[in-house]
Amino acid sequence: MIVFDRVTFGYNAKPILNELSFQVDPGEKIAILGGSGEGKTTILKLIVGLIRPDSGRILIEGEDITHKTEEELNDVRRKFSIVFQAGALFDSLTVKENVAFCLREYTKMTEDEIDAKVRELLRLVDLEPAIHLMPAELSGGMHRRVAIARSLAVHKPIMMLYDEATAGLDPVNSDNICNLIVELSSFGMGHMMVTHKVVDALKVADRFLFLEGGTVVFDGGADELLASSHPHIRTFVDELRYQPKVSGKR
């Protein structure tokens, strides 16, 4: 469903991705691991056509999006819900208005319909009681959950894309977000989470790609990941030793 075919990309003269190839099927639960600056966010931007490859092709549901016009790319963007790293909410708007924002912008729903939809989405992320709060009144984890609810507001995506969904959260909040990601996927859509936290990747994914030097140096399941002898993967995995209660599986 998502195919990267020898994708090369750089910002100005700085090469980031080098003939990167991988393929993701519908409904997959996948994590892309890699260090800071390896190009994880760049991959998500390429998938939704915010940037274009310098060479190689990207196919979404069999369609080559590499040379699509901006207008055609809007159709591609509608296929995905993307929760960016910052998960930024509008600080001056309530939780309700944040989630309602795209509904007001892109649909002709009535006030009652918007209210019902916002409440439905907030129930999904277990936050309906927070509907009238301001972002400043939310914990980090609540903030992230509102951002996820907002990303689901307008359409039914074929896949959720999460950029470091648990970055900066304490272990309890990280765990809550991971559970939510898994729960949302039980409706049939898969997800891709890019992260450098192996412990969270193991909770949400059953397939793992490890990105290094602009290319995929590992593609496999949890057991293989944990047993990998690749030195940098080992460093990432060794982090788990310092985490309490890790089973290696969800």
The contact set with ligand ADP (CB under 6 A) reads 11, 16, 34, 36-42
Instruction: Specify whether the CB–CB gap between 47 and 23 falls below 8 A.
Output: no
Q: Which does 141 bind (CB under 5 to 8 A by kind): Mg ion, ligand ADP, none?
A: none
CB of 140 to ligand ADP, least distance (A): 19
Q: Which does 42 bind (CB under 5 to 8 A by kind): ligand ADP, Mg ion, none?
A: ligand ADP
Nearest CA among 132, 154, 147, 141 for reference residue 89: 147
**Amino acid identity at 52:** R
In the complex with ligand ADP, which residue's Cβ is closer, 11 or 90? Answer: 11
Which 3 state secondary structure label does DSSP give 212? strand
Q: Which does 90 bind (CB under 5 to 8 A by kind): Mg ion, ligand ADP, none?
A: none
Length of the chain equals: 250
CB of 179 to Mg ion, least distance (A): 22
Tell me the torsion sign for CA atoms 143, 146, 150, 156.
positive
Instruction: Give the DSSP H or E segment for 63.
Output: strand 63-64
CB of 41 to ligand ADP, least distance (A): 3
In the complex with ligand ADP, which residue's Cβ is closer, 16 or 205? Answer: 16
In the complex with Mg ion, which residue's Cβ is closer, 161 or 233? Answer: 161
Helices (H), ranges, the chain: 40-47, 70-77, 95-106, 111-124, 140-151, 171-185, 198-204, 222-227, 231-238
In the complex with Mg ion, which residue's Cβ is closer, 35 or 140? Answer: 35
CB of 208 to Mg ion, least distance (A): 17
Can you give the binding site for Mg ion, defined by CB under 5 A?
Answer: 40-41
